[in-house]
Amino acid sequence: MSGLERLTAGRGLLFGGDYNPEQWPEEVWAEDAALMREAGVNLVTVGVFSWARLEPEPGARDFGWLDRVMDLMAGAGIAVDLATPTASPPPWLGHLRPETLPEDASGHRLWYGSRNQFCPSSPGYRERALGIVGDLAARYAGHPALALWHVGNEYGQICHCDVSAQAFRAWLERRYGGLDALNAAWGTTFWSQRYSGWAEILPPRRAPYLVNPTQSLDWQRFCSDALLDHFRAERDVLREHTPDIPVTTNFMGLFKPVDAWKWAAEEDVVSNDCYPDPGDPLAPARTALVHDLMRGLAGGRPWLLMEQAAGAVNWRPHNLPKPPGQLRLESLQALARGADGLCYFQWRASRFGAERFHSAMVPHAGPDTRLHREVRTHGRELRGLGEVAGQPVPARVALVFGWESWWALEEPARPSDRLRADEQLLAYYLPLWERGVAVDVVPPDAELGGYALVVVPNLFLVTDREADALTAYVRGGGTLVVGPFSGVVDPDGHVRTGRFPAPLRAVLGASGEEWLPAAGEVGCRWREGEAFTAHTWTELMAAEGAEAVAEFTGGDLAGRPAVLRHRAGDGVAWYVATLPEPAALAEVMARALADAGVRGEVAELPPGVEAVRRGEVLFLLNHGAATARVDPGGRCEDLLTGAVADGPVTLPPRAVAALRRRT
Ligand code: GAL
Ligand code: ZN
pLDDT digits (tens, 9 = 90+) for 153-196: 999 999 999 999 999 999 999 999 999 999 999 999 999 999 99
Provide the pLDDT confidence category of residue 475 given band limits of 50, 70 and 90. very high
Q: How far is the CA of 345 from the centre of ligand 1 (A)?
A: 7
pLDDT at 605 over 80: yes
Model pLDDT, residue 312: 98
Mean pLDDT of the 264-272 span: 98
- Residue 627 pLDDT > 80: yes
Contacts of 517 (CB under 8 A, 6+ apart): 415, 416, 418, 536, 537, 538
Q: Is 358 in the pocket of ligand 1 (CB under 6 A)?
A: yes
Answer yes or no: pTM beyond 0.95.
Answer: yes
Q: What is the mean pLDDT of the chain?
A: 97
Strands 146-150 and 247-248, by their bridges, are parallel
Position 56 scores a pLDDT of: 98
pLDDT at position 662 is 87
Does the CB atom of residue 154 touch ligand 1 within 6 A? yes
What percentage of residues in the chain have a pLDDT greater than 70? 100
Backbone φ and ψ for 457, nearest 5 degrees, come out as -60, -40
Mean pLDDT (whole number) for 78-107 = 98
Q: Which residues pair with 306 in a beta bridge?
A: none
Q: How far apart are CA 220 and CA 379, in angstroms?
A: 40
| Alpha carbons 274 and 251: distance in angstroms, whole number | 9
391-445 residue pLDDT tens: 999 999 999 999 999 999 999 999 999 999 999 999 999 999 999 999 999 999 9
pLDDT for position 3 = 87
Q: Which of 150, 153, 255 to mutate to test the pocket of ligand 1 (most atoms within 8 A of CB)?
A: 153
Q: Answer whether residue 1 shows pLDDT above 80.
A: no
Report the nearest-CA residue for atom 12 of ligand 1. 313
**Residue 268 contacts residue 238 (beta carbons within 8 Å):** no
Is the pLDDT confidence value at 508 over 90?
A: yes
* pLDDT cut 90: percent of the chain above it: 98
Distance (angstroms) between ligand 1 centre and the Cα of 572 equals 44
Query: Which residues have a catalytic role annotated?
Result: 154, 307
Residue 251 CB less than 6 A away from ligand 1:
no
Query: Which ligand is nearest the CA of 358, by number?
Result: 1
| pLDDT tens digits along 201-243 | 999 999 999 999 999 999 999 999 999 999 999 999 999 999 9
307 Cβ inside 6 Å of ligand 1? yes
pLDDT band of residue 663 (cuts 50, 70, 90) is confident
Which pLDDT score is estimated for 549?
98
The band of 555, judged by pLDDT with boundaries at 50, 70 and 90, is confident
Confidence of residue 123 (pLDDT cuts 50, 70, 90): very high
Q: How confident is the model over 42-92, as pLDDT tens digits?
A: 999 999 999 999 999 999 999 999 999 999 999 999 999 999 999 999 999
pLDDT at residue 2, rounded to an integer = 77
Position 533 confidence tier, pLDDT thresholds 50, 70, 90: very high
Phi, psi of 465 (to 5 degrees): -60, -45
Short-list 548, 549, 524, 519, CA closest to 534: 524
DSSP symbols for 229-295:
HHHHHHHHHHHHH-TTS-EE-EE-SS-TTS-HHHHHTT-SS-EEE----TT-TTHHHHHHHHHHHHH
Tell me the mean pLDDT in the region 495-523: 98
Q: Are strands 339-344 and 628-630 parallel, antiparallel or unpaired?
A: unpaired
